[in-house]
Structure 1
Amino acid sequence: MENDRLAHLPDRKRRELQLAAQILFDEFDDALKTKLSDKGKRGRILKLILFGSHARSDWVEDRKSGYVSDYDLLVIVNYESFGEQHPCWEKAAERLLQEMTITNGLSTPVNFIVHTYQDVNNQLARGRPFFVDIARDGIVLNGLPGFPLASPKILAPEDARAEAQRHFDHWLPSAERFLRPLLLVSGLVWSSIG
């Protein structure tokens, strides 16, 4: 793990990130052991990138309220078959939760997403803000040589607005479905905000 780029984090947080990385790699390696095909045996984690508040050094730890910023990790793999739906990631999530709730190896929640190298670079080439932020602010914790991230495309203001509108249009209906019962229970009239 490239600790020089993690100098802004306390030792405890660096140890926790090392444990989280070890769990992700262990579960991935265990999954490779069961693969029969040559392609399956060539599966690799190409990069593990810390992004979000812990990478930017603006995380929150408010023990009074109980709010703690989580660790956000991007796992970049070489094959789609090892993408987010692969069973090894569910096992990794279970182990991370166990470290948080039972063994107390982690005091900070860990969230991770898994994408292929090709997908990440395609997203960067399209200027997708989420991936551009990761490329700009993220810290590579582990990485194999020879797999650079694409240079992010900077969207023109009108393209950035269209991208934001697309996400808004996509997520607003599910937010409304989530909020409607809460607003009804609290006595607020839905039509007053919708």
Structure 2
Amino acid sequence: EGPVDGIEITVKGEVLTSHSDGVLHGVHETLPPALFLRSTEATVLDTAIAKFAVNAAEGARDRIGALHRLNRAFHERFAFDAGRPEPGRTAAAAFRMDSATPRDMAQMFAVAARSLGAPARYVSGYHHNDHEVVHLPTPHGWAEAFVDGLGWVGFDPCTGMSPEEHYVRVAMALDAAGAAPVAGSRLGEGGEELDVDVVVQRED
């Protein structure tokens, strides 16, 4: 009863990961892949990104080869920006920059993959530093694209490679906003502040 000073959410769990060349396993998919051909306000099909995708995929023998080429092309095109993503920045706006955050690169990849006809989605989670047993990570974002015969395959444009066992997958959606690990709303006066503390520990 009465005013609430704060809300604390504590989540603790164990995640089993394995080396899979980026191919997603063990996830019950309730939505058809074609749903992820849709665009959102943040991932509207952009002519410049579509042209970039065609050039990057040139010479690929199949869909998976084209997507890997696209992933490497984004990695080589943009300098890594470790700062906080600019709220509301679209994939099209990010493509005009010289550097990009993980969120920006993943959303650009999703737009590019969809322009090539591949269903694609944004994934939020954490990237564990392989050199540390206990790691205090910042949220990370990457993309997944659907490939016939393989299913969903992960791509991280920040590294130019596919996610492996040191990635912890939390949520997926059409764009970053839909895959936010925590979201909410409030009604009334007063301010708000979000403080997040995450620890990822490797179990040998």
Per the normalisation by structure 1, the TM-score is 0.26
Normalised by the size of structure 2, how large is the TM-score? 0.25
Q: Which has the higher helix share?
A: 1
Structure with max Cα Rg: 1
